[in-house]
Chain A
Amino acid sequence: MKRRRFIDFLLGGGIAGTIITFLYPVLKYIWPPKQSEVIVKSVVAGKINELAPNTYKIFKFGSSPGILINTKEGELKAFTAVCTHLSCTVTYDGDTETIFCPCHNGRFDLKGNVISGPPPRPLEAYNVEIVGEKILVSKRT
């Protein structure tokens, strides 16, 4: 290697190295810090008699929303409320007794299966248990 090329190489490498040493902490800095994610297995979604038949409520399931539905027949059902399409929060449509996502008109039946619209997968269903006065919702395992 010519001496000249060698010096160019050192110089170039030095500059590149300096840039990287500056850039690395900056990139690390702007990357979001880890948020402590609460992993929950079960939550209290409400009290019995809180929901009239054919109504619903949204409850907190860890850091994401869940939907609790009291059907016309008075059966309690719970699902994740996060639409499988693009993560909007779904709602319950009492007129048609379906779960509805207003973002792109996705529709699910009361088993969580897709009836129409763009959602690619069914909504994850949760177990519902009644313990005393409380409605306990938990992940199916």
Chain B
Amino acid sequence: MKTFWEKIWLYFDYRFKISDLAQLTKKKKVPEHKYSFWYYFGGICLFLFIIQVITGILLLLYYTPSADSAFESIQYIMSQVKFGWLIRSVHSWSANLLIGAIFIHMFSTFFLRAYRPPRELTWVTGFFLLLIFLAFGFTGYLLPWNKLAFFATRVGTDIVGIVPIIGEKLKTFLLGGKVISNATLPRFFWIHVAVLPFITVLILGVHLLLVQTLGMSTPIGLSDREVKEIPFFPNFVLKDFLAWILILGLIGILCVFFPWEIGEKADPFASAPPGIKPEWYFTFMFTTLKIIPSKILFIEGEKLALFGFFIGGLFWLLIPFLDKKAQKEEKSKLFFIIGLLILIYIIVMTLVTYFFPKL
């Protein structure tokens, strides 16, 4: 006699062919070596993204996306709604951890040369995920409609306006008009909760599909003796889970001891308060723009800096196609040094923002 559960299994297996899939996961192996630690960060990104989706859906229940009532609705969530403070704090903290995890994941795959063939497109889709999540952060920051965010958005979108040819159009599109106004908030909301999630699902889907079909890469130059293999299921999955639970604990601690603040309601007809700056992950660009001289030779400093970031981003996107040595399974010193310099630049500029705000 088959048990009740076996019958259910057979019913669905007959229709969905689950056992074929299960067979695949049984075969899947994950390399284990001295750099395996870095394999966890992609999974952590995924976990944090899931948290964002869940808490985001919960926040939607009480948040109202209009300039008149957005700030008040957040106040309401923080003070009246049971556990509202928790849901909102988790969404904000986890957003920041997610961006941090993406940076770690990206630089670790860079230094391990995981982008070399056949994983070029994994890198390319990953790069677009980075841009998407920066956009999530930028649009989400404005939603509470507080003073700091209002002016940070004003500055941020003005920078978009500097971009030659398309800049002004793009800025008008984002702001819903020539300047930031009551029309801006619903647009940012729309982008944050509808447009970006839709695009994310598509690109993340490709990213994860590639990871599944290609398996994990092994760093260049490790000998067979240094690389063991462990089964993906259950060994690697359990380790992944452990990492996720640790992260969840971290989020819990952060939310209880440092609940996310609301600030003061934005007033378009008030002076900008001191200490206007964007979220930390934009500060390296923010500080660059702040300290660059307004004219270098005959070019506006800002345009030059923006152009620099554009070229840098393009270079970063095309890394798998430019690093010819990695294509031949060799480590390139040059690319290592370039990556290191970029990393150091980002870290130094971010630290400068917080330790020398007067600069």
**Taking the nearest CB of chain A, how far is it from the CB of B106, in angstroms?**
28
- Assess the A86–B358 pair: CB atoms within 8 A: no
Interface locus among A14-22, A72-80, A101-109, A130-138: A101-109
- Assess the B177–A102 pair: CB atoms within 8 A: no
**Assembly CA distance A51 to B294 (angstroms):** 35
Q: Are A58 and B271 also in contact (CB < 8 A) when A86-B159, A87-B155, A88-B276 are? A: yes
Residue of A86, A89, A105 touching B270 (CB-CB under 8 A): A89
CB-CB under 8 A from B151, the residues of chain A are 88-89, 103
| CB closest chain-B residue, reference A32 | B176
**Assembly CA distance A63 to B181 (angstroms):** 9
**A-contacting residues, B144-161, CB 8 Å:** 151, 154-155, 158-159
CB-CB under 8 A from A87, the residues of chain B are 154-155, 158, 179
- SS class, residues of chain A in contact with chain B: loop
B183 within 8 A of A: yes
**Taking the nearest CB of chain B, how far is it from the CB of A96, in angstroms?**
14
Q: Are A102 and B155 also in contact (CB < 8 A) when A32-B177, A35-B183, A120-B294 are? A: no
**Taking the nearest CB of chain B, how far is it from the CB of A114, in angstroms?**
9
Interface residues on chain A, size class: 20 to 34
**B-contacting residues, A24-43, CB 8 Å:** 30-32, 35, 37
Interface residues on chain B, size class: 20 to 34
- Assess the A102–B272 pair: CB atoms within 8 A: yes
B173 within 8 A of A: yes
CB-CB under 8 A from A81, the residues of chain B are 271
Scoring A35, A90, A103 by chain B CB atoms within 10 A of each residue's CB, the highest score goes to: A103
> Chain B, 247-283, contact with A by CB distance < 8 Å: what is the 0/1 string?
0000000000000000000001111111110000000
B300 within 8 A of A: yes
CB-CB under 8 A from B183, the residues of chain A are 32, 35
B121 within 8 A of A: no
B325 within 8 A of A: no
Q: Are A103 and B181 also in contact (CB < 8 A) when A32-B172, A88-B272 are? A: no
B residues whose Cβ falls under 8 Å from a Cβ of A:
151, 154-155, 158-159, 172-173, 175-179, 181, 183, 187, 268-276, 289-290, 294, 300-302, 358
Other contacts beyond A88-B151, A102-B274: 17, CB < 8 A: A30-B173, A32-B175, A32-B177, A32-B183, A35-B181, A37-B178, A58-B270, A64-B179, A86-B158, A88-B155, A90-B271, A91-B271, A102-B273, A102-B275, A104-B290, A118-B290, A120-B300
A residues whose Cβ falls under 8 Å from a Cβ of B:
30-32, 35, 37, 58-60, 63-65, 67, 81, 86-91, 101-105, 118-120
Q: Can you report 6 A-B residue pairs in the complex whose CB atoms are below 8 A from each other?
A: A30-B173, A35-B177, A58-B270, A86-B159, A89-B272, A120-B300
The 6 A-B residue pairs with the shortest CB-CB distance, nearest first, are: A91-B271, A86-B158, A32-B176, A88-B272, A102-B274, A86-B155
